[in-house]
Amino acid sequence: MQICKEELCTGCGACASVCAFGAIKLLLNQSFERIAKIDKNICKDCKKCFNICPALKGVEYNFPTACYASYSKDIEDRKTSASGGIASSLTNSFITSGGIVYGTAYENGKFLITRADNKAKAKLFKGSKYVKSDSEEGIKNALLDLKQGKKVLFFGTPCQVAGLKNASKDNQNLYLVDLICHGTPSQEYLEDHVREQTKKGFADIENISFRDKDGWRLKVYTNGKVVYNKSHQEDVYFKSFLNGETYRQNCYFCSFAKGERVGDITIGDFWGLGKEKPFDESTEKVSVILVNTEKGQKLLEEYGTNIKLIAREVKEAIEGNDQLRAPTKISKNAQIFKQEIKIKPFSKAIKLTSTYKACKKLQRRNKLIRLAKKILKKI
Ligand SMILES: Cc1cc2nc3c(=O)[nH]c(=O)nc-3n(C[C@H](O)[C@H](O)[C@H](O)COP(=O)(O)OP(=O)(O)OC[C@H]3O[C@@H](n4cnc5c(N)ncnc54)[C@H](O)[C@@H]3O)c2cc1C
Ligand code: SF4
Ligand code: SF4
Ligand code: SF4
């Protein structure tokens, strides 16, 4: 039995986290997307899951009242974050004040939302992981912390934030940060791709990063060493992600891709910064912060003291960022991939897209350039 229609389910897992009887599991469908399913034999028909599901009941949105171009004042923190290091800066201040932070980490072969009450654990949250992270356990634990009167800061994609928002009702101890999001592919796709490239499954992979001080690169680590390292243009998982070809079906109809926001603040890359109105500094590694509620303003005032904030117009952020206006469109490559992934693993399904061919062409070209440079060095 389902809670909402399969094509609307975001896999946020809020339903599973509120079911007192453990009757809901997130199960993989034919396309490897995790969909919430109720076990009729366990369900007591209390309706709690139906009443909090954002896909069924909607969620409260707020239009931003302020917008900032922003970055962490800690140079190293900014350098090692995906964008301006806003998430990391807020996280560290919140933990120093005794709060609990939830973010996405790669742990024991899974990308999942998990809990941190110390800075060492919270370091795992740093960096954008371009996959769908599992969030039901994270939401469940955040609800438990709130029940015990703890202060909670939660980072997630808007659909994950919406799930916790509905499940927690209006809790004053909860601060919600949503990321601007253009879509998420299943972890199974990434694992299959990594296995194809490194001959290792997630169980043997120590870490995976997408953006760091070297820019946009897919890097895979085992035993402290990088065993795979390709740019976002050469790597077919990364390229097809950025092209919007491999997302969950519901992402193409995402109701959160708009100016009105679900979190107390929204963070993302500040695309289009300075295009109309000049920006006096470099636009490299500058994030956008949208302040959507009074609580969001309080969050910045109390925990954002190590963040440089430069006021900009909300309009500038919305005009510069597609995902603040509409969901990603389904391209021809996305349609091909969607058909193929039902019957093939990622590494085979993606081969039929023009993106795969473009990546291979670039890899061959770069290989030749490297070879030519090597020969020239020897002469
Ligand atoms: C799947 C995804 C898609 C995105 N799409 C866009 C976009 O289209 N446009 C745009 O402007 N910005 C997008 N972003 C946001 C961008 O990548 C940066 O996260 C953002 O600019 C903040 O950067 P930062 O340096 O402050 O923090 P970062 O170092 O990026 O960390 C940000 C926080 O994101 C959380 N996080 C990381 N991966 C995930 C995940 N898979 N699911 C949920 N939470 C996660 C971490 O817990 C961390 O707290 C996306 C992020 C993700 C994860
Ligand atoms: S609460 Fe989230 S996971 Fe559960 S059915 Fe609704 S959208 Fe799907
Ligand atoms: S109706 Fe109640 S018991 Fe049944 S799955 Fe939903 S939350 Fe669980
Ligand atoms: S695009 Fe929308 S539905 Fe998909 S992961 Fe992002 S917020 Fe969730």
| 266, part of any domain | yes
* 257 close to 231: Cβ distance less than 8 angstroms: no
DSSP characters over 27-59: EE-TTS-EEEEE-TTT-----HHHHH-HHHH--
Whether residues 284 and 260 fall in one domain: yes
CA of 156 to the centre of ligand 1 (A): 8
CA 209/CA 211 separation, integer angstroms:
6
pLDDT higher than 80, residue 157: yes
pLDDT of residue 302: 97
Whether residues 65 and 26 fall in one domain: no
* 232 close to 355: Cβ distance less than 8 angstroms: no
CA of 124 to the centre of ligand 3 (A): 33
Whether residues 335 and 347 fall in one domain: yes
Of the candidates 318, 262, 259, 323, the residue with the CA atom closest to the CA atom of residue 295: 262
Q: Is 19 helix (H, G, I), strand (E, B) or coil?
A: coil
Q: Output the domain CATH number for residue 33.
A: 3.30.70.20
Ligand 4 lined by 184 (C-beta under 6 Å): yes
Q: Which residues contact 78 (CB under 8 A, 6 or more apart)?
A: 71, 72, 84, 85, 285
Ligand 3 lined by 45 (C-beta under 6 Å): yes
Ligand positioned closest to the Cα atom of 270 = 1
**Using 50, 70 and 90 to split pLDDT, how confident is the model at 298?**
very high
What is the total residue count of the chain? 379
Going by alpha carbons, the residue nearest to atom 8 of ligand 2 is 9
CA of 2 to the centre of ligand 2 (A): 9
| 28, part of any domain | yes
Q: Which residues contact 15 (CB under 8 A, 6 or more apart)?
A: 3, 24, 36, 49, 52, 53, 163
Going by alpha carbons, the residue nearest to atom 2 of ligand 3 is 46
Last residue of a domain, one of 41, 56, 71: 56
Going by alpha carbons, the residue nearest to atom 1 of ligand 2 is 53
Whether residues 114 and 169 fall in one domain: yes
Going by alpha carbons, the residue nearest to atom 29 of ligand 1 is 127
Domain range for 35 is 6-56
Average pLDDT over residues 194-210: 94
Whether residues 33 and 149 fall in one domain: no
Ligand positioned closest to the Cα atom of 52 = 2
252-284 confidence digits (pLDDT tens):
999 999 999 999 999 999 999 999 899 999 999
Ligand 3 lined by 362 (C-beta under 6 Å): no
Domain count within the chain: 3
Q: Is 3 helix (H, G, I), strand (E, B) or coil?
A: coil
Q: Which atom of ligand 3 is nearest to the CA of 18?
A: 7
Q: H-helix or E-strand containing 332? A: helix 332-340
Whether residues 241 and 252 fall in one domain: no
Whether residues 281 and 139 fall in one domain: yes
Average pLDDT over residues 34-62: 97
Last residue of a domain, one of 291, 309, 324: 324
Of the candidates 227, 236, 232, the residue with the CA atom closest to the CA atom of residue 198: 227
Ligand 1 pocket, CB under 6 A: 81-88, 103-104, 125-131, 133, 155-157, 179-182, 184, 267-269, 271, 287, 321, 323
Instruction: List strands edge to edge, sheet with 215-222.
Output: 207-212, 215-222, 225-231
Residue 299 identity: L
Whether residues 23 and 39 fall in one domain: yes
Please, what's the b/e burial string for 163-201 (b: 16 or more CB within 10 A of its CB; e: otherwise)?
A: bbbbbbeebebbbbbbbbbbbbbbbbbbbbbbbebeeee
| 1, part of any domain | no
Average pLDDT over residues 288-317: 97
Dihedral sign for Cα atoms in the order 137, 140, 146, 147: negative
Ligand positioned closest to the Cα atom of 48 = 3
| 211, part of any domain | yes
| 52, part of any domain | yes
| 378, part of any domain | no
| 235, part of any domain | yes
Percent pLDDT > 90 in the chain is 93
Ligand 3 lined by 46 (C-beta under 6 Å): yes
CA of 251 to the centre of ligand 4 (A): 5
Q: Which atom of ligand 3 is nearest to the CA of 3?
A: 6
pLDDT of residue 198: 95
Residue 268 has φ and ψ, to the nearest 5°, of: -170, -170
Longest dimension (CA), the chain: 78
CA of 1 to the centre of ligand 2 (A): 13
Q: Which atom of ligand 1 is nearest to the CA of 268?
A: 21
pLDDT of residue 217: 95
Whether residues 75 and 130 fall in one domain: yes
| 379, part of any domain | no
Whether residues 137 and 76 fall in one domain: yes
Tokens of 317: 């952020």
Tokens of 268: 């993302």
Last residue of a domain, one of 324, 339, 356: 324
Whether residues 226 and 368 fall in one domain: yes
* 258 close to 326: Cβ distance less than 8 angstroms: yes
173-185 confidence digits (pLDDT tens):
999 999 999 999 9
The secondary structure of the chain in percent helix, strand, coil, rounded to multiples of 5, reads: 40, 20, 40
106 to 113, 142, 191, 345: CA distances (angstroms) = 9, 18, 12, 22
Mean pLDDT of the chain: 96
pLDDT of residue 60: 97
**Using 50, 70 and 90 to split pLDDT, how confident is the model at 376?**
confident
Instruction: Kindly provide the residue ranges of all beta strands, DSSP E only, lying in 223-318, ordered along the sequence.
Output: 225-231, 265-269, 287-291, 307-312
- Give CA angle at 67 (266, 272), nearest 5°: 90
Whether residues 49 and 191 fall in one domain: no
